[in-house]
Structure 1
């Protein structure tokens, strides 16, 4: 990709999935270095290295990684290779994996609650008092976890 000609912001947006305003914002806050401009049009022209960096940022963004952690990631990537860099990056990815795992846990609780409410109303519609009682019991156990 290093021999590829520079590409437009539209092309980078298409490739990365990041919107044009997000690309401009990332440039403004320094996640992406200054992007050269076409001399005749003034439009941004992204080189291969910038596109690779943007694609990496896009992956991080897709996982919900914060801008703060994106900065840390880039800082460690740009640093000289050493044992500390690997440990720092491992820690950054572990923290983000733990965050996503907690989000999944909370999402599963919300899903369980919604399915139990569906079961409850299904039982009420059928007039099945035993199924309704079971749904209420499960809901009673689920609500604290949902709210916590």
Structure 2
């Protein structure tokens, strides 16, 4: 299969619906809530997106934003179930982290949940360390961080 990767340095409102539809399907979560969360983040700072497309259809994406100076937050990501197992999520992560390094970020942080086991394992395989857990309304949140200054 042929895939095309694309970077959006700042998601514009017209792209928000497309991205939240994709991520809601990939994450099996509520699209309305994702759209509200995305709009909230967009009011605070630019949100970047890395997308993967097949035959003109967006089949995966990874969103992130600056958490604080020198630190990036890998926020939402996923690949549609029919396209999993082909290394697309790993490539999106690799591209996000390479961009982060080039922008001068020293670390990238992400949160996940135990029920998204695939994402947890992907992050661990790509250099993230578990920093701790927090209790949230959605359950136990696993906090992970990766040092972007370390050699890969």
TM more than 0.5? no
- TMscore range, shorter length: under 0.3
Larger Rg: 1
Greater fraction helix: 1
Q: TM-score, normalised by structure 1?
A: 0.27
Q: TM-score, normalised by structure 2?
A: 0.27
Greater fraction strand: 2
